[in-house]
Amino acid sequence: MKRAFCFVTLVAVAAAGCAEQRHFEYPVARKGDVVDTYHGTKVPDPYRWLEDPDSPESREWIEAENKLTFGYLEGIPQREKIQKRLTELWNYEKYGTPYKQGGRYFFYKNDGLQNHSVLYTARNLDDEPTVLIDPNTFSEDGTVAMSDYAVSDDGKYVAYSVSEGGSDWIEWRVREIETGRDLPDLIKWSKFSGASWTKDGAGFYYSRFDEPSGDEALRSLNEYNKLYYHRLGTPQSADELVYERPDHKDWGFSGGVTDDGRYLIISVSKGTERKNRLYYKDLSLPGSEVVKLIDVLDAQYAFIDNDGPVFWVRTDLDAPKGRVIAIDTNNPDRSHWKEVISESEETLRGVGLINDTFVGLYLKDAHSQVRLYNLDGSDAGEVELPGIGSASGFSGKRSDTETFYSYTSFSVPSTIYRYDFETKTSSLYRQPKVNFDPSRYVTKQIFYTSKDGTRVPMFITHKKGLWKLGNNPTLLYGYGGFNIPITPSFNVSNLVWMEMGGVYAVANIRGGGEYGREWHQAGTKLTKQNVFDDFIAAGEWLIANGYTKSEKLAIYGGSNGGLLVGACITQRPDLFGAAIPAVGVMDMLRFKDFTIGWAWMSDYGSVDNKDEFEALYAYSPLHNIKEGTSYPATLITTGDHDDRVVPAHSFKFAATIQAAQAGEAPTLIRIETRAGHGAGKPTTMRIEESADKLAFLCRELHM
């Protein structure tokens, strides 16, 4: 492929642009004759065979697509320079927030370009830390990663989980902290689970699924979750089954031991819906039964801590933006529940209890606020943050006098602070040194109006002194689902984009968790179209206000955000110059048939219901691609063995849009091997992928 380059002045580009003639020969994808019928509607699925990523025909197609895509990407002259700059900026020390347990501090650190952050431990903050677990030793290519860890109460053991090839499946192992020696204990077929130790350090609770049959581990449905207890020194086959519900295949269980060691708190969920039941088991009574404290799925109930039999719980019951209540388990009737912290105008996203003080993490227009409350709910002040950004961390126990938190924004790398409850002051603990000048960039938050009149916030970041002549390359990011808020954060790839003269915008659209339960529900099931309307309106606002124009506007999103991008380019192909849907949910009629996809019905709905099928079919990216349409330049990305959003979504979408494309813009798919949904991806792979995405945008937006 040859590319014609135009060297013209800024004014000439603004007036005329830079045109070229291109033709892409896409790999041949056989069209089958599969047709499904939903409520009387016949829906063809010609690329059903691509749902098996390991069939010879699929492997041949994958290889051919990658040959085309990587050949195109490697031919972009700017790519090498982009990757070099990404590598330079990525190479800085990155620290996680310290966590104290058993008389030790634990924290992650990455020297800069290590594929994975290393877990360190130290007795005191001033001591030279020692390496506890180095995931970089797990594999030569960095595709085996550490997912999570949990330290026993006495600081003697750490249970840690490992995933391979980006899979959601994890294996739990146990390491003796003092010696660094791994015990023979091994737990398999766990997924979406943490580990929680009993007070005596004899073992821990975890959740798992049954072992899948044959080679179906990456595609078969994940159902009938179970909660187990593993005692150290025993085989997994001897683990105690604590709780299961064979009558509810879609229920999930997570177990956590209270800090006083007395109770096992069991959160019972159904899919990804932000509602749960709350059960508990009294561990001080041998053989005690599981008590169903809250056995209705009417709200979210997040256990905070307990004072003997009194449980403090964060909930959105009768409070869409969240509040804190106290439940006396000796008198658990709802009429006796007491409100401790009432609902406020801001959204309560989390609560901790440290130094006998409630630490409330709030969102105000998608950026963090941290408020403190006494045990009776009275105001105890606020943790002052450095600016408009995102704060996280704040772990600790009721007896602790300190905690640590991280703060980040679009131009501030994650910086670690120590908060002293006795002096009520924050002090800088770890500040990264990145080779750029943050004072050269500016972030502002604007509010725009969506199609139905809803007011939606958007962050816009760029170099200072930007000219708003409607010609700036602009990257618009969004997610809009599962009650997940998108808040300010530092990203090296976005920084390089802005160094190149790009504008970076984040639209806080409905479906997310920025404004609590109602904001989330306004972008689910039959109202999911609101999410796409919000995102399209964000793009229109950026154009109308002189930031960019359609030819210079790119959109990007991953997972549910990949669905967002796919839906927007099929609904408004004229509005965007480029699109990058990453690991997206593209087939809205079959998502529930793979791995954990059934759990997303709480957000998307189900084809089993006629009205929800009609809504899904109306926006499903795969099913709304139209022959003879000029689609924007599109780079689809996925992992060939993503076991969360299976790659069939991206495979079928790519084959369909390539066959339908009437314009000259490329519609390519980049398929990463030995990679999954994104978690645990090594640094080398992340830099290469970022370089490819930026090079793609650089070329297609004529930068």
pLDDT at residue number 673 = 80
Q: Report the C-alpha gap between 627 and 411 in whole angstroms.
A: 42
Q: Which residues are catalytic?
A: 559, 677
pLDDT at residue number 429 = 97
Q: Report the C-alpha gap between 597 and 648 in whole angstroms.
A: 12
Q: Report the C-alpha gap between 79 and 56 in whole angstroms.
A: 32
Tens digits of per-residue pLDDT, 542-591? 999 999 999 999 999 999 999 999 999 999 999 999 999 999 999 999 99
- What residue has token string 């999911």? 528
pTM of structure: 0.93
DSSP symbols for 526-563: GGTHHHHHHHHHHHHHHHHTTS--GGGEEEEEETHHHH
Identify the DSSP state of 26.
P
pLDDT at residue number 217 = 67
Domain extents in the chain = 10-88+436-700, 344-433
- Is the distance from CB of 251 to CB of 226 less than 8 angstroms? no
pLDDT at residue number 675 = 67
192, 196, 382, 170: which is closest to 303 by C-alpha?
196
Cβ burial of 438 (10 Å; 0-12, 13-18, 19+) is: middle
pLDDT at residue number 142 = 92
For the chain, which residues score pLDDT lower than 70?
Answer: 1-22, 217-219, 674-678
For the domain bounded by 10-88+436-700, which CATH number is listed?
Answer: 3.40.50.1820
